[in-house]
Amino acid sequence: MAKRVLIVGGVAGGASAAARLRRLDEKAVIIIFERGPDVSFANCGLPYYLGGEIKDRGKLLVQTPQKLAANLNLDVRVRSEVVAILRDKKAIRVRDLQTNAIYEENYDNLILAPGAAPLVPPIPGIEKPGIFSLRNLVDTDRIHSWVQNQQGKKAVVMGGGFIGLEMAEQLEKRGLGVALVQRSGQVLDPFDPEMISPIHQELAAKGIDLRLNRQVIRIDDAPPKEKVLKVVLDDGSGIEADVVILGIGVKPESHLASDAKLEVNPRGAIKVDDHLRTSDPFIYAIGDAIEVKDPVTGNQTQVPLAGPANRQGRIVADNIAGKPTSYRGTLGTAILRVFDYTAACTGASAKTLSKAGIPFKTVYLHPNSHAGYYPGAHPLSMKVLFSPKDGKILGAQAVGKDGADKRIDVIAASIHHGGTMDDLVDYELCYAPPFGSAKDPVNIAGMAIQNNINQLVEIVHWSEVEGRVKNGSKLLDVREPKEVEAGMIPGALNIPLPQLRSRLNEIDSSSDWIVYCQSGQRSYNACRILSQHGYRCCNLSGAYKTYSAAKNTGI
């Protein structure tokens, strides 16, 4: 008898599960239920359609019900809302949203892929026209139509996460003046604060009115202007807007699971085992609605990303088809374009590791995106976190105009396989002058970690400088005088690296020295010179670039 598999939700996880299962089982009855009108669309592309970079709306439709039926023999039922799971009967209850008819369907296995819903803050005025969340094509059409009909000139984006920044960028590209309100002191909370300074500067350079450490407390009308809103912040200021976009985060849409007494965590995410099976052995769950393991910390977390959802769909299909497969967890590898800059990350941040009580060390580096002598090279800011015990890589972040993506992809693969500093050093990566360097930034990161663990140099970080100076350490700047004129750490002694050996007599041998340059390479060389002449010294990791970036962020 053919196996009946019902899937609640399409898009990334549900559609992937259905397609994989059909390829494994030609006879299975596979039915997808989707509450909206579109079963499989590129939700990550929605902001770029709104901004005009994607001009053809049809390009966002990855699959249609008709194509899925013809190519994969899938029964796709759009505008069909699953309203209950009847576990005792192994059935679901469905409402046809076009006819309002209620019916039931039995299953052998049920896959829950309901996704996550945008958070809507409980503030006065949040229900007013012109205020939107962005989740699907219907939302996209509403925003597109509103801005076009209103001939909007001003927008407020609430939230500085991935969606918030993408929307701020795209609305600016569409010609609107944009204000972005962020509750914390930085955008992109998955990153550590000092890494985000270039993004803050880029937003300001592009005219985005960035309001950090601010909250929206209410949204008023702005008379006498018809249909214009006034977004009021907790400092009493107000921002006029023709449109307001909510980008403050998402919550798992798990009410079906909780109503059916499946286990969920305190934040509402559905609990699953390594095979993505819920507390009911016949029900699986995938995507933004589930709790997953963080492979670095070992803790449970929630990571709403399309890549993991697709992999989870494939794994569930394998398990249902009798091919036992485990899900290893979600690193949270993510990337974002903010105008001319790219920010990418993988694994744990310093904030996450500190909260989990996991010992770690950090190296900062500022290599070029490709060979510096080849035109078009851009500096790349990188942060790599590692275990002080064995150099195991725990996380990485990169920000720059070019090259962040491939470096973080390589490090993500390394973390996935338990890679260490030695692996980063040994990786043989593509090199030609337009694309990289003979020593890739990934290799250089591994070398910097090796130098620290093998005690060739002690590392000090920007956050430690002030405390060490108060305790008697002195600062040595080994940059050239023209670099120093552009900015320096107060109180530093400047001796350019080429002059260091001939001017050792100017350096107090009884003091501890913090040595820095612009990016860290020259100061490392200086530390090697000094230490072999009997001086006590440490290298400021990331050097003046990281120090100044952190100070500009205000942390």
Lowest mean pLDDT among 58-67, 198-207, 382-391: 58-67
**Residue ranges making up the domain that contains 61:** 4-115+251-320
Burial of residue 467 (CB within 10 Å: 0-12, 13-18, 19+) is exposed
Domain boundary among 453, 487, 503: 453
Output the six-digit token pair for 256: 């079906």
In whole angstroms, give the CA distance from residue 519 to residue 381. Answer: 9
H helix or E strand, kind and range, residue 8: strand 4-8
Picking from 248, 279, 308, the residue at the C-terminal end of a domain is 248
Coil, helix or strand for 106? strand
Is residue 295 located within the same domain as residue 370? no
CATH classification of the domain holding 368: 3.50.50.60
User: Is the domain of 314 the same as that of 350?
Assistant: no
| Mean predicted confidence (pLDDT) in 187-212 | 96
> How far is the C-alpha of 46 from the C-alpha of 166, rounded, in Å?
10
Residues 105 and 34 grouped into a single domain = yes
The first and second tokens of residue 337, run together, are: 């374009």
Do 139 and 242 fall into the same domain? yes
Of 248, 283, 308, which residue sits at a domain end? Answer: 248
Q: In this structure, is residue 330 part of a structural domain?
A: no
Query: Mean pLDDT, to the nearest integer, of 52-72?
Result: 90
End-to-end CA gap in the chain: 63
Same domain, 363 and 409: yes
Best CA proximity match to 118, nearest among 22, 246, 7, 271? 246
Among residues 356, 355, 372, 487, the alpha carbon closest in space to that of 437 is found at 372
- 235 and 256 co-located in one domain: no
Peptide bond into 224 cis (omega under 30): yes
Answer for the pair 244, 229: CB distance below 8 angstroms, yes or no. yes
pLDDT of 479-530, one tens digit each? 999 999 999 999 999 999 999 999 999 999 999 999 999 999 999 999 999 9
Active site (annotated) includes residue 527: no
Q: Would 413 be classed as within a structural domain?
A: yes
Judged by DSSP in three states, 170 sits in helix
Residues 520-554 have pLDDT tens digits of 999 999 999 999 999 999 999 999 999 999 987 76
- In this structure, is residue 24 part of a structural domain? yes
Is residue 326 within 8 A of residue 28, CB to CB? The reply is no
Same domain flag for 87 and 109: yes
Please tell me what DSSP assigns to residue 212.
E
Q: Are residues 110 and 257 in the same domain?
A: yes
- Domain match, 135 and 239 both: yes
Indicate the DSSP class of residue 271.
P
Instruction: Tell me, yes or no, whether 244 and 256 share the same domain.
Output: no
Would 126 be classed as within a structural domain?
no
Kindly give the pairing relationship between strand 29-34 and strand 40-41: unpaired
Is 369 within the bounds of a domain? yes
In a domain, 332, yes or no: no
Q: pTM for this structure?
A: 0.93
Residue 544 domain-assigned (yes or no): yes
Helix/strand/coil for 17: helix
- Taking CA atoms, 434 is separated from 377, 403, 437, in Å, by 8, 11, 9
Residue 554's pLDDT is what?
64
Q: Given this model, what pLDDT does residue 150 score?
A: 84
Q: Average pLDDT over the chain, rounded to whole?
A: 95
Reported confidence tier of residue 173, pLDDT bands at 50, 70, 90: very high
Burial class (CB in 10 A: 0-12, 13-18, 19+), 541: buried
* Dihedral over alpha carbons 13, 16, 17, 21 (to 10 degrees): 180
Task: Please give the DSSP secondary-structure letter assigned to residue 440.
Answer: -
Asked if residue 555 has pLDDT above 80, the reply is no
Q: Is residue 123 part of a domain?
A: no
In sequence order, what DSSP letters do the residues of 304-362 get, joined into one string?
--HHHHHHHHHHHHHHHTT-----------EEEEETTEEEEEEE--HHHHHHHT---EE
pLDDT top residue among 149 and 430: 430
User: What is the average per-residue pLDDT within 401-407?
Assistant: 97
Q: Are residues 345 and 442 in the same domain?
A: yes
What percent of the chain clears pLDDT 90, i.e. is strictly above it? 91
Q: Are residues 353 and 440 in the same domain?
A: yes
Catalytic residue among 44, 345, 430, 537: 44
Domain count, the chain: 4
pLDDT band of 226, cuts 50, 70, 90:
low
Q: Which two tokens stand for residue 280?
A: 């009911």
